Amino acid sequence: MGATKLSGMQKQVLSLYRGFLRAARSKPTTEDRKRIQTIVSTEFRKNSKEVDRKNFQYIEYLLRLGHKQLDQLKSPDMVSISSVKIN
């Protein structure tokens, strides 16, 4: 089985995804954790289908936005996140 070699940007996206899941596990209630995990997986799946893989500028923008949101989510005061549609 040949494993597909991931690009640097793909590794960044996966790292961000794992970061969100780790942050979700740190939240106090199971309900908060499940809600965060659902929103995160939905957003990442949606973007994987809708965003052109060659649109590097937009992907970099989403990565920066994701890192900002992750930093906010890591705050002990933050218990949840919400999904926002941006066109």
The pLDDT tens digits of the residues spanning 27-50 come to 888 998 999 999 999 999 999 999
Judged against a pLDDT cut of 70, whether residue 85 lies above it is answered with no
Judged against a pLDDT cut of 90, whether residue 57 lies above it is answered with yes
Judged against a pLDDT cut of 70, whether residue 79 lies above it is answered with no
Question: Cα torsion for 9, 10, 16, 19, to the nearest 10°?
Answer: -140
By the 8 A CB rule, do 78 and 72 touch? yes
pTM of structure: 0.81
- How does 53-83 read in b/e, with b if 16+ C-beta sit within 10 Å? eeeeeebeebeeebeebbeebeeeeeeebee
Residue 87 pLDDT level (bands cut at 50, 70, 90) = very low
